[in-house]
Amino acid sequence: MSATLKHLRHVLTENPITLLAVALFATFVLLALFGPGLAPYDPLASNTGLALRPPSLAHWFGTDALGRDILSRTLVATRLDMGLAVSAVLLSFVLGIALGLAAGFLGGGWDMAVTRLSDTIMAFPLFVLAMGIVAALGNTVGNIVLATAIINLPFYIRVARTEANVRRHAGFVEAARLSGNSELRILALQLFPNILPQAMVQVSLNMGWAILNAAGLSFIGLGVRPPTPEWGILVAEGAQFIVSGEWWVSFCPGAVLMLAVFSFNLLGDALRDLFDPRKRT
């Protein structure tokens, strides 16, 4: 345990950017957990007498066209957006890694079938494919998670398949096979830990993409339905007011959305260093 903590401290202190990424990520996790309790106002309560008020001490992010506090709606939306992203990425990670490992390790017809599945998904513009899935199944939270997981699936299949294909005849795999380990045990205990660094970098990137995908679907009306607070909805609601000068309605939640995606992009290098066994020596 002490060696793990020492390695974690080394990863965090070696690069200030890594420390910044982890701090931002921790902040968004805390906001997702406690955001509704931190919101100074009811995110659904409207007050037309306070409509379109600019940022002030009373309303840090200003108010929207219905007089709702934008900061409160942004804080509450963090839980929904983070939940959507984590659920979608976790689903695509589990399915993609399992399919990719099996394809790269077993080869043959299984490899061809999984590769064709990945190529078929990648043949479509991914956001357009997500739009089609949600439009066909309905714009519920579950369908948004499913659509986001499907468009992220090929990334994990390709990473796992490539690494498994390269390492399936490696010395440590042959040694494990000669020791009497089953194929499933070799996949789980020998190959999976070796692809984890590359996969975790992809997880970090996909978290940012998943948040953008959910926000984009909501922006065009195929995501979460209003008046539920969600970052894409908040940006869409304020888009019509930018020309008339009420910039804060879109800018403030949009800046939070940008910061969340930025933190996940930075977090990729930290996760790679943390899970890479070669970094422990």
The mean pLDDT values, 10 residues at a time, for the chain of 281 residues are 62 72 88 91 89 92 93 94 93 93 85 91 91 91 93 92 82 77 78 82 87 91 87 90 89 93 81 60 51
- With respect to residue 16, please indicate whether it lies within any of the assigned structural domains: yes
Which pLDDT score is estimated for 168? 75
Which CATH number do you get for residue 266?
1.10.3720.10
- With respect to residue 74, please indicate whether it lies within any of the assigned structural domains: yes
Q: What is the pTM (predicted TM-score) of this model?
A: 0.85
Which pLDDT score is estimated for 213? 92
Which pLDDT score is estimated for 191? 82
| Structural domain count, the chain | 1
Which pLDDT score is estimated for 154? 93
Burial class of residue 31 in the structure, from the number of CB atoms within 10 Å of its CB (0-12 exposed, 13-18 middle, 19+ buried): buried
- With respect to residue 80, please indicate whether it lies within any of the assigned structural domains: yes
Residues with Cβ < 8 Å from 122, sequence gap 6 or more? 154
- With respect to residue 218, please indicate whether it lies within any of the assigned structural domains: yes
Which pLDDT score is estimated for 186? 79
- With respect to residue 46, please indicate whether it lies within any of the assigned structural domains: no
- With respect to residue 51, please indicate whether it lies within any of the assigned structural domains: no
Query: To 10 degrees, what angle do helices 231-239 and 192-219 make?
Result: 30
- With respect to residue 47, please indicate whether it lies within any of the assigned structural domains: no
Residues with Cβ < 8 Å from 207, sequence gap 6 or more? 85, 86, 89, 264, 267
Which pLDDT score is estimated for 10? 62
Return the residue matching tokens 């660094």: 197
The backbone torsions φ and ψ at residue 63, rounded to the nearest 5 degrees and listed phi first, read: -125, 160
Domain of residue 225 covers 2-39+60-280
- With respect to residue 54, please indicate whether it lies within any of the assigned structural domains: no
Question: Using an 8 Å Cβ cutoff, are 41 and 229 in contact?
Answer: no
Which long-range contacts does 212-216 make (Cβ < 8 Å, 24+ apart)? 212/257, 212/261, 213/88, 213/126, 213/127, 213/130, 213/147, 213/148, 213/151, 214/81, 214/84, 214/85, 214/88, 214/144, 214/148, 215/81, 215/257, 216/127
Can you tell me the distance from the alpha carbon of 64 to that of 70, in angstroms, rounded to the nearest whole number?
6
Which pLDDT score is estimated for 128? 92
